[in-house]
């Protein structure tokens, strides 16, 4: 901890801290000197993959444990999004953000009025990338710094992927290659892989410890904050309960000598898309309870395809899948199903029997949701192709549109599902089933509220991308 005797001052900093080295230690020590309390955000495995298309050599739990063990560090948390710097600074009451000068002035505007920003020079001649490159080229790690890398036996912790001082004393290229494979968690079969095969291997190494959802903003009122908390807890429960089921389900089956993919995230997504037809037919022929059930079943399948994608990535079964397209398909299928359900509902309302004021409110509510969903869908299309067609140097820089599902977006979908289910029960005369109509309308306006937050998140990410261009 900092030995400063000045007025209490909280310093916050962020980093990956992969293959922890002397440069990491120095910037953390210098950060601690600028206050009385040092809070460190360690980038999650998934965040690092989104920035660099490569997972860290050391997983997030171990990296956090290493940083937490330092005397100069008071608190450690997992950083899930680059766009939440302001949220993290507010949450931990930071007085100053300290970053390396490779981020010079990057956060000044974002954190104006929240905390000060300081940018420290990086330690020359040492970086995790350089260490990895040196391992890969089979050069002796001792040449990095003979004082900190004495030649000794490889300790047991080296074989588990932990980098400690004095673990490297191998004299042959073969030994160094084994060490590199263990440190970088690369399976033997991938060492000679092509770039595309290597990318698939990285995707297969998806960490099961990653948080399922991240948040885009600090909620402005306790009601919406509570709703986000409850939904995240529910979503995590779904993942916990159904992950073992998804693990046991075979992805492929062999029929007449041909191997067919029968269970994947995209197949679940396409399957739930077909439910829109069944929901519309149930409304038309007055099977209203069935229509409401199918809407909520679609909502469950929306969660399930995410569980399937994550588990199959962990198990290495998703080789050849495009995770970016999977996320895009998932988001657009939601919008297609919800819009078709709302449209079907409006078609089957008996406007002659219904109260005019009730019909107006219902129609206005559906129109607002239509507008928001079409707007978000348009932004999603352009963001997807922007990321898909981006040059390699942009992908390497980590500057990309916001494509990942966020808490507010998933909660929006939950309220849409519940709202449409209530509207199904209100057919054909919304004024005659006023309680179902009222409940559905309230849910859909909550959905509109969180739709705006999700949209603003995507537009902020696009603005940051344009600024960096």
Active-site annotation, residues? 51-52
* Upper half-sphere CA count for residue 4 (Cβ side, 13 Å): 18
Looking at residue 102, what DSSP letter applies? G
In the block, which residue shows the tokens 């007085």?
95
Helix, strand, or coil (residue 70) = coil
Helix, strand, or coil (residue 115) = coil
Locate 322 and state its tokens: 């495009």
Pairing of strands 258-261, 252-255: antiparallel
Q: How far is residue 242 from each of residues 8, 166, 204, 207, 238, measured CA to CA in Å?
A: 46, 43, 19, 17, 6
Across-strand partners of 75?
A: 39
Rounded CA-CA distance 289/280 in Å is 12
- Do the beta carbons of residue 366 and residue 346 sit within 8 Å? yes
Q: Which long-range contacts (CB under 8 A, 24 or more apart) does 286-290 make?
A: 286/427, 286/428, 288/424, 288/425, 288/427, 289/425
CB-based contacts of 391: which residues, under 8 Å, 6+ apart?
A: none
CB-based contacts of 52: which residues, under 8 Å, 6+ apart?
A: 396, 398
In the block, which residue shows the tokens 């409304």?
283
- Do the beta carbons of residue 383 and residue 401 sit within 8 Å? yes
Q: How far is residue 15 from each of residues 25, 45, 81, 268, measured CA to CA in Å?
A: 12, 12, 12, 36
Specify burial of residue 333 (Cβ count, 10 A radius: 0-12, 13-18, 19+).
buried
Rounded CA-CA distance 177/357 in Å is 74
In the block, which residue shows the tokens 């429960």?
237
Rounded CA-CA distance 287/272 in Å is 19
């Amino acid at each position: 901890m900092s030995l400063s005797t000045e007025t209490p001052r909280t310093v916050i900093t962020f980093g990956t801290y992969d293959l922890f080295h002397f440069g990491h230690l120095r910037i953390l020590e210098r950060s601690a000197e600028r206050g009385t309390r040092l809070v460190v955000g360690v980038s999650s495995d998934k965040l690092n993959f989104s920035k660099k298309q490569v997972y860290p050599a050391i997983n997030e739990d171990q990296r956090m444990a290493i940083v937490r063990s330092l005397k100069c560090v008071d608190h450690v948390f997992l950083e899930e999004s680059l766009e939440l710097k302001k949220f993290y600074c507010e949450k931990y009451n930071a007085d100053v953000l300290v970053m390396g000068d490779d981020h010079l002035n990057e956060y000044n505007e974002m954190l104006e009025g929240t905390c000060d920003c300081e940018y420290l020079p990086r330690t020359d001649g040492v970086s995790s990338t350089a260490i990895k490159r040196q391992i890969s080229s089979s050069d002796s790690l001792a040449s990095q710094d003979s004082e900190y890398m004495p030649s000794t036996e490889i300790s047991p912790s080296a074989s588990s992927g932990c980098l400690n001082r004095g673990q490297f004393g191998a004299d042959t290229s073969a030994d160094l290659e084994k060490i590199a494979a263990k440190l970088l968690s690369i399976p033997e079969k991938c060492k000679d892989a092509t770039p595309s095969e290597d990318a698939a291997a990285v995707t297969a190494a998806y960490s099961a410890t990653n948080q399922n959802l991240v948040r885009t903003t600090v909620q402005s009122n306790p009601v919406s904050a509570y709703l986000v908390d409850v939904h995240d807890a529910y979503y995590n429960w779904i993942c916990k309960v159904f992950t073992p089921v998804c693990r046991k389900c075979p992805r492929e089956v062999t029929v007449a000598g041909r191997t067919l993919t029968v269970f994947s995230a995209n197949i679940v997504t396409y399957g739930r898309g077909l439910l829109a037809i069944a929901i519309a037919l149930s409304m038309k022929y007055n099977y209203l309870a069935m229509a409401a059930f199918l809407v909520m079943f679609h909502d469950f399948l929306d969660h399930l395809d995410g569980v399937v994608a994550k588990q199959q990535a962990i198990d290495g079964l998703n080789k050849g899948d495009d995770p970016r397209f999977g996320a895009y398909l998932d988001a657009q299928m939601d919008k297609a199903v919800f819009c078709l359900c709302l449209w079907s509902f409006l078609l089957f309302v008996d406007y002659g029997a219904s109260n005019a004021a009730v019909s107006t409110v219902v129609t206005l509510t559906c129109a607002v949701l239509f507008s928001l969903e079409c707007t978000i869908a348009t932004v999603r299309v352009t963001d997807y192709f922007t990321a898909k067609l981006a040059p390699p140097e942009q992908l390497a820089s980590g500057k990309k549109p916001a494509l990942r599902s966020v808490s507010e977006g998933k909660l929006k979908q939950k309220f849409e599902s519940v709202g449409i289910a209530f509207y199904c029960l209100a057919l054909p005369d919304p004024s005659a089933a006023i309680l179902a109509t009222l409940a559905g309308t309230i849910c859909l306006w909550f959905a509109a509220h969180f739709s705006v937050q999700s949209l603003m998140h995507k537009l902020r990410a696009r603005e940051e991308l344009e600024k960096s261009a």
